[in-house]
Structure 1
């Protein structure tokens, strides 16, 4: 055997030896990838329509959906449930108990029920994974918002002002300024009932049914200031989010208009189809997105005035 053949053989063995650990590492990396399922849902007055004990009907629906993370709006009457026993005479709805019943050991609510009995429409988030670096923001926000991290992603869960376009402008500016103050490579998910229309949906509102409904509603409810200064639909709130670089996940996967209200229950802000529920992601997440849909089924038809939005993405 020539010395050249021996040299070649040893080089080949050495090369194959290098390939084995590299392929193993690659396989291990793929194994660590997982798909995260996120649902954002305005549940209407603390899931008022579910009169079962401990909201068992709602919990059953969530178990079937099996989201990894659940963002909730209008969690009226819910307490964080951090104490084992409620004060004597109190009958709060326990968020922790509810979350644990559908497999989420971690939960955050933006505030406890008001002691004076006023309705505050708090937002909340529950998760299979630890929720860390939590900030509950109530200043300058009618319903508040939660900023938190889960699995390395940054979340904003909010519910914008339902009757003032001007105040929604303040709310969105505050959230975008918060995001702007953080590292530019962070991955963000920004969601909730934003009570405003998107310029991406302009063609769906060209019949002016929504605009006319709001104009008529203002005669009964003078505090309904949902139109812009020109007495037309105000697209500026959603335009700010888009201009910031966020991706409208539902629109990305559904180029045609997808309404999130009204359901078969009712909706007091429009009789025609409208999209007020959004799930935005930062631009650096676009390649991670798998699909986004509005969930319409026998439960969501009747248990809230909004339909939930679901997003699947690769971690």
Structure 2
């Protein structure tokens, strides 16, 4: 009789545990961990079937939400299976063309439902993925790598899309590879060889127009700052922290760069707990960019 009662209690406990997992809500989470990662041409450097090295790394991070860039060769089905492997039940891919190595889609995966998805590809080089998780509005993008003028247009489009949205004063998170420079890093770049690197690169590839009047341009992100958005890394780190290159060969420049960002809107500024660039044995070797991680106090259940 006692054994039967213990068995019944175990079954009930298991049922409660399983249902609590099934119905887990973002409103029940104290803090949110968010990662943005440019993974280099569809995770090309992970040659395992199904990208097991990336899965192992993502499991270890246990992030609530991951914004991915350069998800070449992925389809919706592949992304959903990949995300489920590290505990994310929800996944959205901006676009798919699995046989095109130059397609460069972005994606977002999450432990919690992803809703109100808007996939924008018009007037954007790689596109932008808009999605809500809880009452957070995400914009995941990867900006034009070739022309500063085009990047300025792309950023202005994103700024206006938020300005004229249904919730312009809400909790916005813009994440991705912005392929541009922050005014906050100007002092560091002025002391580096970056300008000469870019000039040399443009001599080798005349298609590139990444300077304005022969100088570095900060307009892309200055416009974002002028619109009220906040460079999250600079909230908790005043020093320069590069996100590229990694220890893998990287042909953009020999000078350390910060191309990868998470920006937040003013209502989130005081909720930011920690922002850092994740540098470890895995990220040293499996992409040409390092991921950026942000942890925020979660107030998703509040209006």
Normalising by structure 1, we get a TM-score of 0.84
Match of residue 226 from structure 1: 210
Quote how far apart the aligned CAs of 1:266 are. 2.2
CA RMSD of aligned residues (A): 1.2
> Using the alignment, how far apart are the partners of 2:49 and 2:101 within structure 1?
23
> Using the alignment, how far apart are the partners of 1:101 and 1:275 within structure 2?
30
Quote how far apart the aligned CAs of 1:226 are. 0.9
Is the aligned partner of 1:290 residue 2:273? yes
Match of residue 91 from structure 2: 107
Quote how far apart the aligned CAs of 1:107 are. 0.5
> Using the alignment, how far apart are the partners of 2:42 and 2:253 within structure 1?
21
Among 101, 105, 110, the alignment partner of 1:127 is: 110
Among 260, 263, 266, the alignment partner of 1:280 is: 263
> Using the alignment, how far apart are the partners of 2:87 and 2:163 within structure 1?
34
Quote how far apart the aligned CAs of 1:185 are. 2.9
Match of residue 283 from structure 2: 300
Match of residue 21 from structure 2: none
What is the 5 A alignment of 1:103-182?
103-113=87-97, 117=100, 119-182=102-165
Relative to structure 1, the CA distance from residue 239 to residue 293 in structure 2 (aligned partners, 3 Å threshold; closer, same or farther) is same
| Equivalent pair of 1:214/1:224 in contact (CA under 8 Å) | no
Secondary structure in structure 1 of the residue aligned to 2:50: helix
> Using the alignment, how far apart are the partners of 1:310 and 1:208 within structure 2?
26
> Using the alignment, how far apart are the partners of 1:57 and 1:32 within structure 2?
30
Among 32, 35, 42, the alignment partner of 2:31 is: 35
Quote how far apart the aligned CAs of 1:208 are. 4.5
Relative to structure 1, the CA distance from residue 233 to residue 310 in structure 2 (aligned partners, 3 Å threshold; closer, same or farther) is same
Among 140, 157, 171, the alignment partner of 1:187 is: 171
Gaps of 5+ in 2: 1-26, 299-303
What is the 5 A alignment of 1:215-254?
215-228=199-212, 230-254=213-237
> Using the alignment, how far apart are the partners of 1:212 and 1:261 within structure 2?
17
Gaps of 5+ in 1: 1-30, 82-93
The runs of at least 4 aligned residues of structure 1 exceeding 2 Å deviation read 182-185
Match of residue 48 from structure 1: 44
Quote how far apart the aligned CAs of 1:294 are. 0.2
Quote how far apart the aligned CAs of 1:114 are. 5.8
Secondary structure in structure 2 of the residue aligned to 1:259: coil
Alignment deviations for residues 10-63 of structure 1 (CA, whole Å, 9 cap, x no partner): xxxxxxxxxxxxxxxxxxxxx945100000000000110000111011100000
> Using the alignment, how far apart are the partners of 1:222 and 1:297 within structure 2?
36
> Using the alignment, how far apart are the partners of 1:104 and 1:77 within structure 2?
20
Secondary structure in structure 2 of the residue aligned to 1:54: coil
> Using the alignment, how far apart are the partners of 1:119 and 1:226 within structure 2?
20
Alignment deviations for residues 83-127 of structure 1 (CA, whole Å, 9 cap, x no partner): xxxxxxxxxxx1111000000010011101166x36210000000
> Using the alignment, how far apart are the partners of 1:167 and 1:184 within structure 2?
24
Relative to structure 1, the CA distance from residue 196 to residue 313 in structure 2 (aligned partners, 3 Å threshold; closer, same or farther) is same
> Using the alignment, how far apart are the partners of 1:311 and 1:58 within structure 2?
19
